Structures are given as C-alpha cells and as structure tokens.
Amino acid sequence: MMTDVVEQSGNPSRPVAEQSPANGSEPAVAPPSGEAGPGEARTGTAEPTAAARIVQIRERIDEIDHALISLWQERATLSQEVGVTRMASGGTRLVLSREREILERFRTALGADGTQLALLLLRAGRGPL
C-alpha cells in the first residue's frame, strides 16, 4: 500500500491513507477531516493568493539552489586543482593563512553561520584535515 506524507508545521509528518476510486483509475488521496488538502499541504496555506505567491517564491529559491550547487561543485574542483598544482610543485597541502582569510570573509559577511559555511566549502575543496 502506498501512502503520501502531509507535512504540517510543528507536527510530525503523518501518512494519509489512500482511498480507491470507484472507476479504477489512479488512487485518490483524501485528507482526513481537519487536515490540509493537496494545495495547502504543499504551501502551508489555503488562501489562494498567498499560496500562489509561495509557489512563485519557491520557484526562485529552487533556481538559486541550482546555482549554489553548481557554484559549490565548480569551487571544489578549482580548489582541488590548486592543491594538486601546489603539491606537484613541492608546496604544502594547505595554506593556513588562505584558509583563515576565507573563514574571516564568510564570518564578516554572514556571522557564525558564515564560518560554518566556509568550513564546509574548505572541506569540499581539500578534503578533511
């Protein structure tokens, strides 16, 4: 038996039981009374204007996520190339002053979360210490 999951703010996700339609087509998913319908479950609101705006904003968020993923991968590849080139020429695996510079740049721009993000970026490029 297949189930759908309805996410509700502040509540754990709960499966929504399927109900078989009389015509034998795809199973219909009907929310139990008091639970969100399909559109509301997707946006968190039943108000049509707000729901449409949420969908529009999320589309832009998805575009940004795709760009961030692509840039993350490009940055990691370039950083790995720097490391290989440096080591091949007799240099060190790491340049700590460069890592501190990157950490400070992200901390200044984004605060404590920026430091954590920078640490993840550095690890993606050079691997774990």
Above 50 in pLDDT, residue 87? yes
Same structural domain for residues 91 and 123?
Answer: yes
Report the CATH number at residue 52.
1.20.59.10
Same structural domain for residues 61 and 91?
Answer: yes
The token pair at 71 is 């840039």
Give the structural domain span for 42. Answer: 1-46
Same structural domain for residues 42 and 52?
Answer: no
Above 90 in pLDDT, residue 67? yes
Q: From CA 61, how far away is CA 66, in angstroms rounded? A: 9
Same structural domain for residues 98 and 54?
Answer: yes
pLDDT digits (tens, 9 = 90+) for 103-116: 999 999 999 999 99
More confident call, 128 vs 89: 89
Alpha-carbon Rg of the chain, whole angstroms? 24
pLDDT digits (tens, 9 = 90+) for 37-52: 667 889 999 999 999 9
Q: From CA 47, how far away is CA 60, in angstroms rounded? A: 20
| Number of independent structural domains in the chain | 2
The token pair at 2 is 């297949």
Same structural domain for residues 6 and 56?
Answer: no
The token pair at 101 is 């510079």
